[in-house]
Amino acid sequence: MNPFVLRVRGETISLRSQGASPGADQAIRLVQELIEDAEERLPATAPSHHLLLLALCDLAEEYLSAKERTAIHREEVLKRIQELRQVSLPSGSAQ
């Protein structure tokens, strides 16, 4: 179990992850950044759970956007592969 710390409105939250992954530190930094961004957008009187939900929604939005971009890129790559195969095959040849 790997410990990590997040700060929410001056409060320290210590958590443990189940495994060590190469991107764990980067993920924690991203989460902290999203929490800080959400803190700036909400009034200081807003409950912490609202702030965390806003950060979670921001993360979900980023994830869905990346997923869509990846799908578009995959389709473009597959289309380009198909075009290159057609160009490289002599006329009348079967695959």
Residue-wise pLDDT tens digits, 19-54: 677 788 888 899 999 999 999 999 999 999 999 999
- pLDDT band for 62, please (50, 70, 90 cuts): very high
For the stretch 67-83, pLDDT in tens is 999 999 999 999 999 99
Specify if 94 maps to a domain.
no
Q: Indicate the DSSP class of residue 46.
A: S
Residue pair 51/31 in contact by the 8 Å Cβ criterion: no
Structural domains counted in the chain: 1
Q: Report the first-to-last Cα separation within the chain, whole angstroms.
A: 51
The tokens 């195969």 sit on which residue? 85
Strand 11-17 to 2-8 pairing: antiparallel
Specify if 71 maps to a domain.
yes
Q: What residues make up the domain containing 47?
A: 2-88
Residue pair 29/53 in contact by the 8 Å Cβ criterion: no
Whether the pLDDT of residue 1 is over 70: the answer is no
The tokens 């075009």 sit on which residue? 83
50 φ/ψ angles, rounded to the nearest 5 degrees: -65, -40
Specify if 95 maps to a domain.
no
